């Protein structure tokens, strides 16, 4: 009887793990292509040629949705690429050119709400090139650094 109960618990645990794994895997997969160091190859500038203050020379993305920016000396900041429907609606209502694009949000202050951060980028990754699009600026481009 003990063997049967143990086997039943083992099967139930396995079934639970199979059901929860895709949730964690999808979050990890969506951010896994960002993990690493990205060095700027093209600066984001406005129409007057001034660089964007929210685009660093390098990004260091870490597992656990943390990022270090070369122009921010306060340590690692939280970031996310998966936004809720409500967050997307708020962001897109303020910045229509971000509609339907992949979003990267970084909070310079952990207590700040995600939709209040000034660091909202549309992003895309093609091979080893990261492109960031910000309202009012030309796109910024980064190459993934080999470590």
Q: What is the 3-state secondary structure (H, E, C) of 82-128?
A: CCCHHHHHHHHHHCHHHCCCCEEEECCCCCCCHHHCCEEEEEEEECC
Query: How many residues are recorded in the chain?
Result: 147
pLDDT score of 17: 36
The CATH fold of domain 34-144: Lipocalin (2.40.128)
Residue 97 tokens read as 């050119």
Higher pLDDT, 31 or 97: 97
- Give the residue extent of every domain in the chain: 1-32, 34-144
The two most distant CA atoms of the chain are separated, in Å, by 78
pLDDT digits (tens, 9 = 90+) for 70-91: 988 878 999 999 999 999 999 9
pLDDT digits (tens, 9 = 90+) for 35-66: 999 999 999 999 999 998 889 999 999 999 99
pLDDT score of 71: 86
Residue 35 tokens read as 């993990």
- Give the global pTM: 0.75
Per the prediction, the chain carries an average pLDDT of 82
């Amino acid at each position: 009887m003990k063997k049967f109960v143990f086997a039943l618990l083992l099967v139930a645990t396995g079934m639970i793990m199979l059901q929860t794994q895709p949730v964690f895997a999808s979050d990890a997969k969506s951010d896994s292509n960002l993990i690493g160091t990205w060095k700027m190859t093209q600066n984001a500038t406005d129409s007057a040629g001034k660089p964007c203050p929210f685009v660093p020379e390098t990004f260091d993305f870490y597992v656990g949705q943390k990022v270090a920016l070369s122009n921010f000396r306060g340590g690692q900041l939280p970031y996310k690429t998966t936004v809720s429907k409500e967050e997307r609606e708020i962001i897109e209502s303020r910045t229509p050119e971000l509609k339907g694009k992949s979003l990267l949000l970084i909070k310079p202050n952990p207590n700040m709400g995600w939709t209040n951060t000034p660091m909202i980028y549309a992003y895309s990754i093609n091979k080893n090139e990261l492109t960031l699009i910000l309202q009012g600026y030309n796109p910024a481009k980064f190459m993934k650094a080999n470590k």
